[in-house]
Amino acid sequence: MLTQQNNALTSVLNGAMEILGVSSIAEILPAIQALQDQLVGEQPNSLQSHFQALFRDPDFVIPGETLLEKYHNLMTAIMNLNRGRKLGLYVNLIDLGG
């Protein structure tokens, strides 16, 4: 039974390595991180720069070690806005065709 599970896990890892274009298990996590960064893009950093300039606060940062963490924290901050502040965002999204 354990041999079958080991073979199945090895097969999954080999498939993941092939999809990610890596040659070792140690390369999987950085490859996944790079894919996450590609999906999120630079939007959190662009917004961070915009807020730094808008509010004249060069030390402002969106919390998070990675772009994905920054994106998640940005979404959390939006969800935590009160109804009135969400309304402004809602109207802007409608104006963008959302």
Of 17 and 70, more confident: 70
Do 45 and 73 belong together in one domain?
yes
Six token digits for residue 94: 């409608």
Residue 98 clears pLDDT 90, i.e. is over it: no
Q: Are residues 33 and 45 in the same domain?
A: no
Contacts of 89 (CB under 8 A, 6+ apart): 78, 81
Contact 45, 69 (CB under 8 A): no
Residues 47 and 34 in one domain: no
Query: Does the pLDDT of residue 22 top 80, yes or no?
Result: yes
85 lies in the same domain as 62: yes
Please tell me the total number of residues recorded for the chain in this structure.
98
Helices assigned H by DSSP within the chain: 2-20, 28-40, 43-54, 67-79, 83-95
- 21 or 59: which carries more pLDDT confidence? 59
- Which residue bears the tokens 């894919």? 35
Domain range holding 26? 2-39
Each residue's pLDDT tens digit, 32-46: 888 888 877 888 999
Residues 60 and 91 placed together within one structural domain of the fold: yes
Do 34 and 45 fall into the same domain? no
Our count of domains for the chain comes to 2
